[in-house]
Structure 1
């Protein structure tokens, strides 16, 4: 069974709505993926955990005053009013609010006096639709709080929530910078899954190209190339983003967590290497397709040439005795017809044996 064509669910959002506006004005740019924005609040320290699904702004404000780490996850960046309200509560710069609402934002890291802002892309594989889904994520790291903004309620943070709820690992014993590291680590781990899944699909497609190189395959090859281009745009900037975090001097990243962030940088480089490997495989796949198509055409031409070579002398003999001249001595032979047929059959068999001996058949 041939592989399904992978698709990357990523539409280029229109930014016309933000044209000619004052810089720092939050305007939603993208595709609205849910009706109403919602908040999910988790507040914890090494002993206590407080979690509120569908939290209010009052809940967030109350937990900011308490001891521990506060994580507020916002599902739905289309609600610019909510972004502005949270911006006032957490002291976010107007340019940060604008970047949160812009889902076309390129991955980056920016530092402000009281927080750091990171824009990145989240990848996920939808096995049902055979799609690699891309979602824009904004992460803001403060001294004792973390804000994450997602386009909808689907994310890759389930493992992080499980560790927080169970108290396993370091996340409950560390600060907000370790929580931010854990969230980004979950995102990059899914980069590996998405890119490796894409690579497996390309390898499977490579086998089918060798077995059946037809003219429809070139369209599918270009589809793979476009999909990898979208993945590369999402993954490639993460190396410089992690590098910028590693050189941060704002005090948001503590010395004891530097080693974890350095590991994220290494993982980002590994993902980029995987993407480049897939691109190289796809480039060689196109060469393989063209070679296979050429070889198949050569086989067809060789078969037609052999058939033509066999029938050329037979056609010549039939043409000579089809000229109907009155004084052709063979026309009066009683066994002339049978003799000519026998000659033609013998000649055809002799040519086929010669071709087989030379390895052409």
Structure 2
């Protein structure tokens, strides 16, 4: 349990103590709860009168980013991204309760974004004075910045796959392209609700003060840029898949071309050997002393002539 009060970070063993000390200051505060227990949800519900649906949302797995308005507070769920794990980017929810007096964040497992923001806000002497909406801005800004990093990683990965598709159009490359395509689609489905969330927040005068509105406008511009980047990456990965299919088709054509040339070269030789493989009794060449060597010479000559012909034709 970590609390930010007057830009001082404090850890508490119990939620009751954190709430008691925070409210005694009569100033805006931030309480962060990691791995909340059932009794802590009961305390939140009893003390702040949070709606049971919001409490239930905090206990569920990954949900879309959204905002719900209640009389005395607002409930926000936002999805943050993590580092690449086994070819996929994990996503985690941060649940936020906010009004003019407090901001309470709930998440599961250590969240690097929250930890980083706590450290940065501790250095800013006026963070809490600027209001809970300024703290919310810092959380949203850091989450959006992480998506910029994520899109950069995906773009670099696409470039590598394009080179692989061009040089080595093998089955493994196709599997990597499809996995990356799923990553981009999932990222698009994750970012789209965040864009809607930020658009809704900009219309909430009861959450965002006029002083801090410019910060939210900046985040909204960033999320629009990220969404455009994702759209561009979707087109790039589709082109990459088409390039793979084209290169694979070219490789198959080369193989078929080589096999056709070999078959064409072998065809007259097969005819000759087939003729002399017939079991007729009266075949004059069978009793010729040098017939075997003559036939081999003719077969070799035909092969050489065919190879020269195909080379001149550019086959």
Match of 1:299 among 237, 251, 254: 254
1:141 equivalent in alignment to 2:98:
yes
CA contact (8 A) 1:163 1:171 kept: no
Match in the other structure for 2:289 = 334
Give the match's secondary structure for 2:109: coil
Q: Let me know the Cα RMSD of the aligned residues.
A: 2.3
| Structure 1 residue 41 corresponds to structure 2 residue 21 | no
**Secondary structure of the structure 1 residue equivalent to 2:110:** coil
Runs of 5+ consecutive residues of structure 2 not aligned to the other structure = none
What TM-score does the superposition give when structure 2 sets the normalisation length?
A: 0.91
Unaligned 5+ runs, structure 1: 1-38
The answer to whether the Cα contact below 8 Å between 2:9 and 2:122 also exists between their aligned partners in 1 is no
Alignment match of 2:23 (pick from 58, 64, 71): 64
1:55 CA displacement: 5.0
CA distance in 1, matches of 2:227, 2:304: 60
The Cα shift of 1:260 comes to: 0.7
> Is 1:153 the counterpart of 2:110 in the alignment?
yes
Is contact 2:2–2:12 with CA below 8 Å preserved after alignment? yes
- In structure 2, the residue matched to 1:182 is 138
Give the length in aligned residue pairs.
315
Cα drift, residue 50 of structure 1:
4.6
SS in 2 for 1:235: helix
1:40 and 1:54 in contact (8 A); partners too: no
Note the alpha carbon deviations across 1:280-320, whole angstroms, 9 max, x for none.
22222222222222221111111111100001011112222
Other-structure match for 2:67: 109
**Contact persistence 2:144–2:222 (CA under 8 A):** yes
Relative to structure 1, the CA distance from residue 55 to residue 187 in structure 2 (aligned partners, 3 Å threshold; closer, same or farther) is: farther
Match of 1:164 in 2: 121
For 1:132, what is the secondary structure of its paired residue?
coil
How far, CA to CA, are the matches of 2:235 and 2:87 in structure 1?
Answer: 22
Report the CA distance between 1:213 and its aligned residue: 2.2
- 3-state SS of 2:75 partner: strand
What is the CA–CA distance in structure 1 between the aligned matches of 2:232 and 2:192, rounded to whole Å? Answer: 13
Q: How does 1:92-103 map to 2 (within 5 A)?
A: 92-103=50-61
Whether the aligned pair in 2 keeps the contact of 1:43 and 1:71 (CA below 8 Å) is yes
CA distance in 2, matches of 1:87, 1:181: 25
Report the Cα offset of residue 82 of structure 1: 1.0
Shift of 1:190: 0.9
Counterpart CA distance in 2 for 1:123 and 1:221 is 21
Residue from 161, 173, 177 that aligns with 1:205: 161
Q: How far did residue 214 of structure 1 move?
A: 2.7
